[in-house]
Amino acid sequence: MGIVISIIIVLLAVAVYLYLVSKNKQKIQNAVETTGEIMGFEEINQPSVKSLVIPGENSENEKFYPIIRFRVQGAQMVRFRAQTGYNKPLPFKEGDTVNIEYEAENPLIARIKD
């Protein structure tokens, strides 16, 4: 019986995690494509799924979120933090140029284009 409850708890934790990840993705309606420059990274320690499921487990998952600047139409400079965090080794380094897309009416809604 204890194994069944553990499996249910794990499945619920994964479902909540996936829901929160999908909820935090901003939708871009009228996308404008351009390039941006990686200015640095914001480091955020997040609890691991394992620590949410196993009582007493205290492990964290270190993620690095790129800080990007880009110029919008009209020459205004914008900075934003990417919605996606990365583990080490990082796929980017400071100074790299990346393709991004942003909302035409609100350039603060932006993301790295895959």
Summarised one tens digit per residue, pLDDT across range 14-72 is 665 555 444 445 567 888 899 999 999 999 987 766 666 666 666 667 899 999 999 98
pLDDT of residue 45: 86
Partners of residue 70 on adjacent β-strands: 36, 78
Bridge-based pairing state of the strands 60-71 and 31-47: antiparallel
Q: Which pLDDT value is given to residue 114? A: 72
pLDDT tens sequence across 65-93: 999 999 987 778 999 999 889 988 999 99
Give the number of other Cβ atoms within 10 Å of residue 21's Cβ: 11
Q: What pLDDT score was predicted for residue 24?
A: 47
